[in-house]
Amino acid sequence: MAQSTVTGCPFHSAAQVSANASRGPARAVRTLADLPGPQGLPFLGNILQLDLQHLHTVLEQWAQEHGSMYQFRIAHKPVVAVTDMDLINEVLRKRPDAYRRLNAIEPVLAEMGINGVFSAEGDHWYRQRRIAMQALNNAHLRRFFDTLVKVTGRLKARWDEAAAKGGVVEAQKDLTRYTIDVTANLAFGYDVNTLETEGDELQRHLERIFPMINRRINAPFPYWHFVKMPADRALEESLAFVHQAIRGYIAHSRARLADDPDLVAHPTNFLEAMLAAREEEGSEFTDEEISGNVLTMLLGGEDSTASTMAWIFHFLTEHPDIQARAQVEIDDVLGQDEMLTNYRDHERLPYVEAVAFEAMRLKSVFPVLFLGANQDVDLGGVRIPAGTAIFLLTRQCGLQEEAFASPRQFLPERWLVSRAGIQEGHNTKAFVPFGAGPRFCPGRNLALLEIKAVMAMLCRNFSISKPIDAPPVEEQFGFLMAPANLSVDMRRRDAASSPIGEALPHLGRERPFANTRS
């Protein structure tokens, strides 16, 4: 008998669960012990089966075998994995009251000095969220756009030089430099300029942090409190360097606020906004919260956006026809310009946005969200005790036939239909790359603006392809999922042969239809 896509249980059909949901909250009829799952070992559970560098693929394979809700164990701790889109959205909507980030995340990040809005819970999260939203709202991004143009110009110059030499570009590294420079300017108003300086010391230290977060939150116990591996000692070195740099930025910003009181009312970056909030009654932030949030923004804005763009590059080299269609749209919008210089022009790139959405669907950089239950909850008819870890397999959710037609194919056109024209096989509830509900990612608009700025500059000036004899691109998980072995052959486009004005079938001026709930 086929398992239900909602419960993973052969005795409860999706229709039955849906009918129960329509009558009100589902009454729990099962416990964790009733859920299917992979066989484990005594005491160890399934920990030896969890390859941390490919954790998402292990969990997705288990979903194929055991259904859309299953359980496994990390030592003695039970974990519930969920791929059903309705249940995933239910969990995300009920945050932060019923669900929170995995209990292990907050102490691990706090120990690293990274306990900002990403990992904060309860009142701490509510206080910090307002400042994060202010720093990343559209009005601030519009004022920040000139800085974004400047940094994009530096990336273009770097690629001009690479193309002139006929060399191969390590896309992931260059895009990480770009996002560090953008995010550092926005976070604390400092131009670190890793694109034009080859030291890359800040980037080198930041690259160590995300994989170690993944390693520590999935560890069965805090082993580093008792014995430190070489990777733990390297992490300590990197955290010391990064925190020292941030303390310097905080001191500099405090001096600026003292010299210019108008900045208290009109902060120009995230750090100034947090320092200015000290002046508001009841809004004081500690030095630890300020440092943690600046580092959170730097880490969150660096790796996630760079990896998303790197996956887009991968798909453009895999599909030259899609790359050509993006070039047509960008040539039409930019005219004789070499990159976006008008803020409003980013709204005129529906096909580029569709390419980005499709890359996020197939290669979500956060394919797993690590959450836990704050209280006893009923989820899909299963009674889940407070404190139980719940892993939401968001990438697997978007690869279901019932959510998207031909789900394994890269088809940007699927995002270019109007709301009125949405048909079966395109359900945006299954597309949650930025989360959903109250803790919807505040950096969504910045990420999309960076993606469009880079894509416009790339497609207007260059064509990219896979280098001859390049190794296969692989998925590598380190808290987020990034491409490994990604390099591209960067060639200048012949301006005389730019396909300006060529027709693009199916391409209208309407915005792509995606999940934009906040």
DSSP for 273-286 reads HHHHGGGSTT----
> For residue range 212-248, what is the model confidence (pLDDT) as tens digits?
887 888 787 899 999 999 999 999 999 999 899 888 8
pTM over 0.75: yes
The percentage of the chain sitting over the pLDDT mark of 90, rounded to a whole number, equals: 51
pLDDT for residue 435: 85
> For residue range 2-61, what is the model confidence (pLDDT) as tens digits?
333 333 333 333 333 433 443 344 455 899 999 999 999 999 999 999 998 899 999 999
d(CA 246, CA 223): 28
pLDDT for residue 28: 57
Mean pLDDT of 384-388: 95
Q: Which of 384-393, 439-448, 469-478 has the lowest mean pLDDT?
A: 439-448
pLDDT for residue 130: 72
Per-residue CA distances from 392 to 1, 43, 279, 307, 435 (Å): 25, 24, 39, 20, 10
**In the chain, domain spans:** 122-497
Q: 489 forms bridges with which residues in the sheet?
A: 168, 465
pLDDT for residue 512: 65
pLDDT for residue 277: 73
> For residue range 139-196, what is the model confidence (pLDDT) as tens digits?
878 888 999 999 999 999 999 999 998 879 999 999 999 999 998 888 888 888 889 8
Higher pLDDT pick, 316 / 124:
316
The matching CATH number, chosen from 1.10.10.10, 1.10.275.10, 3.40.50.980, 1.10.630.10, for 122-497 is 1.10.630.10
Q: Which of 59-68, 97-106, 367-376 has the lowest mean pLDDT?
A: 97-106
Mean pLDDT of 459-473: 94
Residue with tokens 């954790």: 55
> Is the Cβ–Cβ distance between 275 and 254 less than 8 Å?
yes
